[in-house]
Amino acid sequence: MTQKVAVLGTGKIGEALLSGMIRAGWTPADLLVTTRRQERAEELHTRYGVTPVTNPEAAKIADTLILTVKPQDMGTLLDELAPHVPADRLVVSGAAGITTAYFEERLAPGTPVIRVMTNTPALVDEAMSVISAGTHATADHLAHTEEIFGAVGKTLRVPESQQDACTALSGSGPAYFFYLVEAMTDAGILLGLPRDKAHDLIVQSAIGAATMLRDSGEHPVKLRENVTSPAGTTINAIRELENHGVRAALIAALEAARDRSRALASGNN
């Protein structure tokens, strides 16, 4: 039987997922989208051939509802949606912080809910999506969700108690790497390189390092030690990173992101 999937609130993450599903072979006719603005709906229809519907129509037609609005908009969406969702629909939330219990309290008793935290590399099929089942979600629901998010990268099942930490690590993770590239490019400027050349050098170094991390099987400490020659250049840079507390800053930064994810769960906007 054909499974229809609706993406409700098709912004950056919703569109990344949708486009990846189509690249992976999903039929656009089986994909529905909801948006707040009519022009956005037309744009998505023109770009992908998917069908724009209203939120209640999505609940009626689709087997799986993927909710990708901002956490702050989830309450309003659910107020509109919940009365229309039959209890046999699978509801997947892609929002930071919001718990499966939050949905279960607002949907018909027994409705299966799954919480997913993906990230923007979904745009290039390199997402990391972490998946947790709510009370009523079965192994089949988990497998179906993995199939959907597997279209845009890797998936990992985690206990829901780890979702806020995963949000801090991989959900927000790409931003830290972009920030690092931005800061290292500034360093290149300070050292007298043109910005475009500095950018290219750093980006290629990032791609090389990421590929080694993924493919070499080596621990990151070993990979870093291999770059760090006795009395060489790298150890001088590492000493400055340690002097400036960069490791502690990263730990504190990710802890702050985790705490913010927890706060979003308690409706703290």
Ligand X SMILES: NC(=O)C1=CN([C@@H]2O[C@H](COP(=O)(O)OP(=O)(O)OC[C@H]3O[C@@H](n4cnc5c(N)ncnc54)[C@H](O)[C@@H]3O)[C@@H](O)[C@H]2O)C=CC1
Residue 29 CA: distances (Å) to CA of 50, 85, 144: 6, 21, 18
CB-count exposure of residue 54 (10 Å: 0-12, 13-18, 19+): middle
Cβ contacts of residue 224 below 8 Å, gap of 6+?
238
Q: What distance in Å separates the CA atoms of residue 56 and residue 76, rounded to the nearest whole number? A: 13
Q: What distance in Å separates the CA atoms of residue 190 and residue 188, rounded to the nearest whole number? A: 5
Interface residue with ligand X, options 7, 9, 85, 132 (CB under 6 A): 9
Q: How far is the CB of 89 from ligand X (least distance, A)?
A: 16
Under rule CB under 6 A, residue 185 binds ligand A1CAB:
no
10 assigned to a ligand binding site: no
CB-count exposure of residue 102 (10 Å: 0-12, 13-18, 19+): buried
Contact between 55 and 34 (Cβ < 8 Å): yes
Under rule CB under 6 A, residue 96 binds ligand A1CAB:
yes
Residues that contact ligand A1CAB, how many (by CB under 6 A): 4
Under rule CB under 6 A, residue 56 binds ligand X:
no
**Which residue in this structure is represented by tokens 């009370």?**
135
Q: Which residue is nearest to ligand A1CAB (CB)?
A: 171
Binds 36: which of ligand X, ligand A1CAB, none (CB < 5-8 Å by kind): ligand X
Q: How far is the CB of 34 from ligand X (least distance, A)?
A: 5
Under rule CB under 6 A, residue 94 binds ligand A1CAB:
no
Pull the structure tokens for residue 63: 């087997």
Interface residue with ligand A1CAB, options 172, 185, 202, 258 (CB under 6 A): 172
Phi, psi of 124 (to 5 degrees): -120, 25
Interface residue with ligand X, options 70, 84, 199, 260 (CB under 6 A): 70
Interface residue with ligand X, options 6, 21, 44, 77 (CB under 6 A): 77
Under rule CB under 6 A, residue 47 binds ligand X:
no
Angle formed at CA 132 by CA 18 and CA 58, multiple of 5 degrees: 40
55 assigned to a ligand binding site: yes
Stretch that binds ligand X, among 57-65, 118-126, 187-195, 213-221 (CB under 6 A): 118-126
Binding residues vs ligand A1CAB (CB under 6 A): 96, 167, 171-172
Binding residues vs ligand X (CB under 6 A): 8-9, 11-14, 34-36, 55, 68-71, 73, 76-77, 94-96, 117-120, 171
Binding-site positions for NADPH read 55
